[in-house]
Structure 1
Amino acid sequence: MAKLSDRLDFVIGRKAADPLEEHFGIRTVNDLLRHYPRKYSDEMTVAGEGEELEEGVHVTFIDVITKAELKWTNRQPRREYLVVTLGNRQPTVTATFFNVKYLKSTLVKGAKVMLSGEVGYFRRTMQLTHPAFLVLHESGGVRGSKSLRAVAEASGATGDDLLAAFERDFFPIYPASKKVQTWEIYACVRQVLDVLDPIPEPLPEPFLRQHGLITEDEALRAIHTAERSAERDAAIARLTYDEALGLQWALAERRHSELSGSGPAVAPRDDGLVAAMRGRLPFELTAGQRDVLDVLSAELAGTRPMNRMLQGEVGSGKTIVSVLAMLQMVDAGYQCALLAPTEVLAAQHARSIRDVLGPLAMAGQLGGVEGATRVALLTGSMSAQQKRAVRAEVAGGEAGIVIGTHALLQDAVEFQRLGMVVVDEQHRFGVEQRDRLRSKAPDGVVPHLLVMTATPIPRTVALTYYGDLETSTLRELPRGRQPITSNTIFLKEKPRWLERAWQRIVEEVGAGRQAYIVASRIDENDKPKGDKEDSGPPPITVVELFDRLSRGPLSGLRLGLMHGRLPADEKDAVMAAFRAGDIDVLVCTTVIEVGVDVPNATVMLVMDADRFGISQLHQLRGRIGRGQHPSLCLLATRLPETSKAGQRLTAVASTLDGFKLADLDLDERQEGDVLGHSQSGRAITLRFLSLQTHLELIVEAREFCTALYERDPGHTGMAALAAPFTDDRVEFLDKA
């Protein structure tokens, strides 16, 4: 007999188990039984006499071979092939087989066979090309194609009983490959179920009664073998709970494993950098910022490492919150690392943090105050000499706040006393990257972790995708933020609106303001990524757009070109010029999507806006409306208003609420795109759980797992449910 935890090769043999592991990562009985059918098909229903079948339909015939002809191809080298005719059917049914060395002595006139394949037609003759086959009424062993033979052998049937193995109202169709077909998977499942011990029930019986759920044992058998749809529906309902509970248990394990370490307990001081910083802020913190800071400050003062995500709208003031939190650590002699995904964003953070700190960030410099710290910046494009100097400043402890890109993760970077890690734009990083940075702390210390995102996250995604983190949200925008008006330009319906857009940009520049014009691609060599409408017209490139505008409607303005392929020093120079007002219009790609703060920019025109996702458009729009003047965002597309992309753009233009747009984005992309695939290429195993429709179930699963984990962290049944989400699979949820 077998258990869920048994290795599959011990149960069905290595010959059958090895391909399952190689192609699907299936290693245990539990893995196999949770490789659920992707659909159920009645395609194995036997075709009757005179039945009309459409071309391409998968069908099975059971009949006697009335003719078996060996033929030769006309082309060189000539190949022998076999054509058999089934019964005396109308229309005539034939099957063609190549590689006939062994088949010509098996598929002979008078043999009763099962043939299974796709229907094709040639001159009113129904044809099956190299279908799967099985010889019926055979004495001795089973002869036939590997896939059908595997089913027959798994059933234990022989001779006249072979047909009974296929007399079903449906067949499960599994995610399969050319090397491992759905028949073979089905045969392995049947073989496992025949020897499987009753599965222990991991959930309390009152829980099952409360939710009207069948047992684990019933569900895992019915999902593969039940012939009635009502039984399969009951299995799906139970397995949906399994996925929610398994995922939340895996995340609970991760939360507790991180909290088991000792974090640096740092109580706030009344006379340190935090107090000095609050005293010199040129603006008043919002109520939301103060509330979040109270939470962060309390967690930084505790011995359990903080694991928190701070999400908020573009411009909601997350950065200043993170700075005040980091200063609480610096006041106690710890260092903080801020990890940013791009050099543009890292440089922007370094510049803005130095500006807001002023003399508080000038330790050892003329003008610095007593007790000041330093803000260091480390990026990959720095010269070797510059990197050495920054690394020495970090290793010596002079830099209290260290900002950088992936360059911070290199082994050569050593901290004297790392106590807190801040990760900006969390979705750009993997969990192993933030853990690598946290590992640079002194032995025995687990740094506090704060991850930030300006992409609003639906609650279901926050509970799964970021399920190992507590969440804080900033919804309130700081006072003085100006409204952003958004409009969509449908160029085919209203081509003159684009001319008006160029005029509006000229007017804004004439009034002393600046503008962004965004394109989706750099040049013709730039392969499109994630284009939303592959069938639409080719997008204009930023290089072409810059050239066209320089010689056309914006020829009288000072234009700058900015994209990710420019050298770092050139990007810095362009951004510095734009920030200083020496460039009127920045023609750019999404390199300005995050971290660029130019309050004087009041207009953004996004060309081929249909090429961008909802969240990305919302991020881009957040680059304007940051100063004292009302702002305008224009989304231009050559696709019709009635198209799916047109409707998406209309939705973006209709609201500034990023949380509404996040829900819309989830509805459009579906969770498969949200969760992606693990590094091994294996799909994240959410077959039935929907992030769109199962919020209550996910919340309930989280509460149940949290309470149970506190009482019984070694619960074996829950560990089995969590198995598909452990190791690299659950880790990938943090970076998908």
Structure 2
Amino acid sequence: MPTAAFSNDPGAASLTSLAGVGPALRESLAKLGLLTLQDLWFHLPLRYEDKTRISSIRDLRVGDTAQVEGRIEAIEKGFRFRPQLRIAISDSTGADDSQSTLLLRFFHFNNAQVNQLAIGTRLRCYGEVRRGQHSLEMVHPQYQRLAEDAASEVEERLTPIYPTTEGLGQKRLGGLIQRALALLPQDELLELVPPALREANAAISLRDALLYMHRPPPDADLTQLSLGTHPAQRRLAFEELLAQHLSLRQLRNRLRAHAAPVLRGDGKLRRRFLAALAFAPTKAQARVAAEVARDLREAAPMLRLVQGDVGSGKTVVAALAALAAVEAGRQAALMAPTELLAEQHFINFHKWISPLGIEVVWLAGKLKGKARTAALASLRGPAQIAIGTHALMQEGVEFDRLGLVIIDEQHRFGVDQRLALRDKGRAGSEIPHQLVLTATPIPRTLAMTAYADLDVSIIDELPPGRTPVATVVLNGTRRSEVVERIRAACAEGRQAYWVCTVIEESEVLEAQAAEVAHAELAAALPGMRIGLVHGRMKPAEKQAAMDAFKRGEISLLVATTVIEVGVDVPNASLMVIENAERLGLAQLHQLRGRVGRGTAKSSCVLLYQAPLSATARARLDVLRETNDGFRIAEKDLELRGPGEVLGTRQTGEAAFRVADLARDAHLLPAVQRAGEVLMREHPDLVARLIARWIGHAARFAGA
């Protein structure tokens, strides 16, 4: 949304209107998305440095970030293990007192730097205080030399530290922002949200909030600012969340402005499908399937997200939607993020739907030669349902009459990828319906804001017979006990998973870890049939191992996290996750969901390597306490933040400048109310708000 379009907006002026902004500086600023005066006003500090006072070295404590002054008492340059420059300074609190001496340590320095420093030189330093071997120290502090007779003047305000880029230092950027703030208009020109809509979230004006954030006074509460709870931050967070919400609403309106095929089938295929199932759908599945069917009968494109906890039966809902498309003479395509999950869907659909006389085609990146040629030809003609990976949206893939796009685990795909598959079915102004699925429950607060472009359905009921999984957390030193537990469980005819994790995401390292674990477990459990699955195996090998496990020919399956979703073996009742502290809550919950799918009592053992960080301990404790995916999702949001929980979103990406969805959830009802009124009564303000907060980062606006 080009801000220059708003000629009456004082913030829309180009940065070249500021003295000193030439072509080179303008290019550097553009790398940060800073093109207008308004962009500088809303380019907010990451944090603050307190250089408003000088601390005594004697009073320093480990963990403090402080500014001190002192004279150089000693200089030592060493190269024993790696280059190192050590400078001892002391202040007037007494040279004989060890607490009045501070060590400055540098690992990156040059001779010119060293030559400027001499014993007796006065230095002012700013940095974090750490515990050294013999005294307190600062590693790579900021420092400046002081003239002998220079007065100890300090900053009048806290020093803001801004996001910046190579070639653009803090001092230059900060000075530029201060010049831009001098042009900040009065409230009547700056405010875009009518007072009645701001409610109690705007006790402070927008102008005062911006000035406070850029120029906090010396007595500002740094703790409050770091937590994001200052009234100035709440005022800005409210407006940022509102802009985010409005941008997604606009995206939805643009998408809904397209036409879509009316998928009004006679229901015969769906009735035959349901009659042949070995189980009756739950009430929640039936409710969500009805919501989807209602959307498909509309001439505007469906944009629906179906959430359901592990094992809640989203695949049945997807199959019913696909059959509705087929009944109406259209094709459906289901895309999954991994080959294993896509294969699982293909197996289920083939088993359920092929007996109905419907052709289901498989397409993945590793499908080559004649098989790929045949699949592509089917999509252009007789095939009614396609299932695959990213390969479905690649160049050369053409559909005959695509009417429905289903995307599983949609948080792993960007909006651009979702649109690429959708556009395979574009015919003039008509686009296919879209159904997106996730087995990762998304907290209500997150869904309200980050998924405002989608209708949300929740399958909040598990099929009957599913048993809660008992979870235990054990130190890795008790690995041998866990191996014995596997021996006992498999001797009783049950099956188990052993999941290997590595620190770095690497198929090679994961494969090596799984192969090592497989060899060790084979040695510890002689005579037991042990299988192996990892991402480096050929698809046929992976499928053969999985099939053998499903048939009960393998008692223990050693695997990487490729089994995270989609694998369903009811007889598997024990899951061991090695190095569980390396995984996030959502992934641990997904893995745990591979067991407890039958009637046998099931367990999950989380093995960890000590010492555990506080966050890792909190994650494992949550898993031990609950099987509720939505409660786990709320905790995941609290621990990791919205960006991590959502994954790649790209339009309306949850990379906020001020707002935090977990912290600011209480603002969301007011945000939604304000959004409704603005969309209806002030569309001109909507465009300006989006330009202010999202502006040049808004993508796919015309999708």
Q: Is the 8 A contact 2:413 2:648 kept in 1?
A: no
Partner of 1:7: 14
Inter-CA distance 504–636: structure 2 relative to 1 (3 Å threshold):
farther
Partner of 2:521: 549
- Offset, 1:605: 2.0
Amino acid at match of 2:247: A
- Offset, 1:276: 2.6
**Aligned counterpart in structure 2 of residue 332 of structure 1, from 322, 328, 333:** 328
Task: Tell me, in whole angstroms, the C-alpha distance in 2 between the residues paired with 1:129 and 1:499.
Answer: 50
Task: Please give the residue correspondences for 1:702-717 in structure 2 after superposition, counting only pairs within 5 Å.
Answer: 702-715=672-685, 716-717=687-688
Inter-CA distance 100–492: structure 2 relative to 1 (3 Å threshold):
closer
**Aligned counterpart in structure 1 of residue 295 of structure 2, from 288, 292, 299:** 299
**Aligned counterpart in structure 2 of residue 407 of structure 1, from 373, 384, 391:** 391
Structure 1 residue runs of 5 or longer lacking an equivalent are: 76-82, 108-112, 139-159, 363-372, 530-538
Q: Is the 8 A contact 1:340 1:424 kept in 2?
A: yes
- Offset, 1:74: 13
Amino acid at match of 1:466: Y
Inter-CA distance 174–137: structure 2 relative to 1 (3 Å threshold):
farther
Task: Tell me, in whole angstroms, the C-alpha distance in 2 between the residues paired with 1:98 and 1:525.
Answer: 37
- Offset, 1:344: 1.4
Amino acid at match of 1:6: A
Task: Tell me, in whole angstroms, the C-alpha distance in 1 between the residues paired with 2:128 and 2:521.
Answer: 57
Q: Is the 8 A contact 1:524 1:541 kept in 2?
A: no
Inter-CA distance 313–86: structure 2 relative to 1 (3 Å threshold):
closer
Partner of 1:269: 266
**Aligned counterpart in structure 2 of residue 250 of structure 1, from 243, 247, 250:** 247
For residues 670-729 of structure 1, what are the alpha-carbon distances to aligned partners after superposition, in whole Å with 9 as ceiling and x for unaligned? 33544678989x995423322223223123213321342133434244233442584259
Task: Tell me, in whole angstroms, the C-alpha distance in 1 between the residues paired with 2:653 and 2:326.
Answer: 42
For residues 534-554 of structure 1, what are the alpha-carbon distances to aligned partners after superposition, in whole Å with 9 as ceiling and x for unaligned? xxxxx992211111121222x
TM-score normalised by length of structure 2: 0.81
Task: Please give the residue correspondences for 1:70-85 in structure 2 after superposition, counting only pairs within 5 Å.
Answer: none
Amino acid at match of 2:683: P
- Offset, 1:19: 6.4
* 1:221 and 2:228 correspond: no
Task: Tell me, in whole angstroms, the C-alpha distance in 2 between the residues paired with 1:495 and 1:437.
Answer: 45
Inter-CA distance 310–88: structure 2 relative to 1 (3 Å threshold):
closer
Partner of 2:660: 690
Partner of 1:385: 370
Task: Tell me, in whole angstroms, the C-alpha distance in 1 between the residues paired with 2:649 and 2:322.
Answer: 33
* 1:202 and 2:192 correspond: yes
Partner of 2:553: 582
Partner of 2:284: 288
Task: Tell me, in whole angstroms, the C-alpha distance in 2 between the residues paired with 1:525 and 1:274.
Answer: 42
Q: Is the 8 A contact 1:519 1:540 kept in 2?
A: no
- Offset, 1:11: 2.2
Partner of 1:534: none
Q: Is the 8 A contact 2:533 2:560 kept in 1?
A: yes
Inter-CA distance 60–184: structure 2 relative to 1 (3 Å threshold):
farther
Task: Tell me, in whole angstroms, the C-alpha distance in 1 between the residues paired with 2:548 and 2:672.
Answer: 50
Task: Please give the residue correspondences for 1:549-628 in structure 2 after superposition, counting only pairs within 5 Å.
Answer: 549-553=521-525, 555-628=526-599
Task: Please give the residue correspondences for 1:647-658 in structure 2 after superposition, counting only pairs within 5 Å.
Answer: 647-658=618-629
**Aligned counterpart in structure 2 of residue 420 of structure 1, from 404, 407, 411:** 404
* 1:187 and 2:175 correspond: yes
Task: Please give the residue correspondences for 1:18-417 in structure 2 after superposition, counting only pairs within 5 Å.
Answer: 18=26, 20-21=28-29, 24-45=32-53, 59=67, 131-132=143-144, 167-176=155-164, 179-198=167-186, 199-208=189-198, 210-227=200-217, 229=220, 233-270=230-267, 272-360=268-356, 362=357, 373-396=358-381, 398-417=382-401
- Offset, 1:633: 2.3
Task: Tell me, in whole angstroms, the C-alpha distance in 1 between the residues paired with 2:348 and 2:38.
Answer: 52
Amino acid at match of 2:300: R
Q: Is the 8 A contact 1:254 1:468 kept in 2?
A: yes
Inter-CA distance 419–130: structure 2 relative to 1 (3 Å threshold):
closer
Inter-CA distance 323–209: structure 2 relative to 1 (3 Å threshold):
closer
- Overall identity of the aligned pairs, in %: 32
- Offset, 1:295: 1.0
Inter-CA distance 204–395: structure 2 relative to 1 (3 Å threshold):
same
For residues 625-666 of structure 1, what are the alpha-carbon distances to aligned partners after superposition, in whole Å with 9 as ceiling and x for unaligned? 223433332222343799653453242133211111111222
Amino acid at match of 2:11: L
Task: Tell me, in whole angstroms, the C-alpha distance in 2 between the residues paired with 1:59 and 1:482.
Answer: 60
Partner of 1:514: 495
Q: Is the 8 A contact 2:333 2:385 kept in 1?
A: yes
For residues 553-592 of structure 1, what are the alpha-carbon distances to aligned partners after superposition, in whole Å with 9 as ceiling and x for unaligned? 2x22211111011112211221222223322221111111
Amino acid at match of 1:27: L
Which stretch of structure 1 is more off in the superposition, 697-706 or 348-357? 697-706
Task: Tell me, in whole angstroms, the C-alpha distance in 2 between the residues paired with 1:643 and 1:45.
Answer: 33
Q: Is the 8 A contact 1:289 1:317 kept in 2?
A: yes
RMSD: 4.5
Inter-CA distance 135–388: structure 2 relative to 1 (3 Å threshold):
farther
- Offset, 1:383: 1.9
Which stretch of structure 1 is more off in the superposition, 189-198 or 311-320? 189-198
Task: Tell me, in whole angstroms, the C-alpha distance in 1 between the residues paired with 2:538 and 2:343.
Answer: 14
What SS does the aligned partner of 1:250 have? Answer: helix
Which stretch of structure 1 is more off in the superposition, 687-696 or 254-263? 687-696
Task: Tell me, in whole angstroms, the C-alpha distance in 2 between the residues paired with 1:130 and 1:378.
Answer: 57
- Offset, 1:38: 2.5
Inter-CA distance 549–134: structure 2 relative to 1 (3 Å threshold):
closer
Q: Is the 8 A contact 2:337 2:408 kept in 1?
A: yes
Which stretch of structure 1 is more off in the superposition, 90-99 or 515-524? 90-99
Inter-CA distance 134–173: structure 2 relative to 1 (3 Å threshold):
farther
What SS does the aligned partner of 2:252 have? Answer: helix
Task: Tell me, in whole angstroms, the C-alpha distance in 2 between the residues paired with 1:28 and 1:685.
Answer: 20
Q: Which has the higher contact order (CA 8 A, sep 6+)?
A: 2
Q: Is the 8 A contact 2:450 2:654 kept in 1?
A: no
- Offset, 1:301: 0.8
Amino acid at match of 1:448: H
**Radius of gyration: which is bigger?**
1
Task: Tell me, in whole angstroms, the C-alpha distance in 2 between the residues paired with 1:471 and 1:200.
Answer: 35
What SS does the aligned partner of 2:683 have? Answer: coil
TM-score normalised by length of structure 1: 0.78
Q: Is the 8 A contact 1:540 1:607 kept in 2?
A: no
Task: Tell me, in whole angstroms, the C-alpha distance in 2 between the residues paired with 1:643 and 1:52.
Answer: 29
Inter-CA distance 100–649: structure 2 relative to 1 (3 Å threshold):
closer
Inter-CA distance 498–52: structure 2 relative to 1 (3 Å threshold):
closer
**Aligned counterpart in structure 2 of residue 629 of structure 1, from 586, 600, 614:** 600
Q: Is the 8 A contact 2:404 2:432 kept in 1?
A: yes
Task: Tell me, in whole angstroms, the C-alpha distance in 2 between the residues paired with 1:349 and 1:461.
Answer: 28
What SS does the aligned partner of 1:478 have? Answer: coil
Amino acid at match of 1:308: R
Amino acid at match of 2:377: A
Partner of 2:3: none
Task: Tell me, in whole angstroms, the C-alpha distance in 2 between the residues paired with 1:492 and 1:562.
Answer: 22
Task: Tell me, in whole angstroms, the C-alpha distance in 1 between the residues paired with 2:447 and 2:648.
Answer: 18
Amino acid at match of 2:185: D
What SS does the aligned partner of 1:439 have? Answer: helix
